[in-house]
Amino acid sequence: MTSDISGFIMLYIFLSIFIQGGYGYAKNIKFLNIVMRNVTNPIIIDQNYCDQKEPCQEQDSAVQLSNVVYKNIRGTSASEVAIKFECSKTVRCREIYLQDVILTPEVGADTGTVAACENVVYANRGKLHPQCSFS
């Protein structure tokens, strides 16, 4: 099964995948031809998501994410972290493809944009800004 999100103008919406623990897989997901305007955290994969005030226990299982494509995504980020891939230590995200992804700060922002990447195997084709920094 393939899921496509293409040709939309995204206002105050982010492209996100939030999963913690569990089994199985999510694959062949495509985000195509999207314009972001002043979006907080525009691109996120977070396999350590916790919806509680107290820190969640780290899971030793995770849904396997693979073949996730972000292509021709451009625009402005309201947050410094424009791309965040926080993947599981036990089941890394793999086959994450970024092609022609350009996310810049909103006009007048005090800082630039960054990408925070952890436990992810990705490839970029074409232009990519910001580049992943690994913690």
The per-residue pLDDT for range 52-87, each reduced to its tens digit, is 788 777 777 677 889 999 999 999 999 999 999 988
**Comparing 59 with 2, which gets the higher pLDDT?**
59
The mean pLDDT value of the chain amounts to 82
Alpha-carbon distance 106 to 124, whole Å?
Answer: 23
Instruction: Give me the percent of the chain exceeding a pLDDT of 70.
Output: 81
Scanning the structure block, which residue is given the tokens 């992810």?
120
Using DSSP's 3-state secondary structure scheme, residue 67 falls into strand
C-alpha–C-alpha distance, residues 32 and 62, integer Å: 26
pLDDT tens digits for 21-60? 677 888 899 999 999 999 999 999 888 777 778 877 777 7
End-to-end CA distance of the chain: 33
User: pTM for this one?
Assistant: 0.80
For residue 19, the model assigns a pLDDT of: 56
Q: Is 87 exposed, middle or buried (0-12, 13-18, 19+ CB in 10 A)?
A: buried
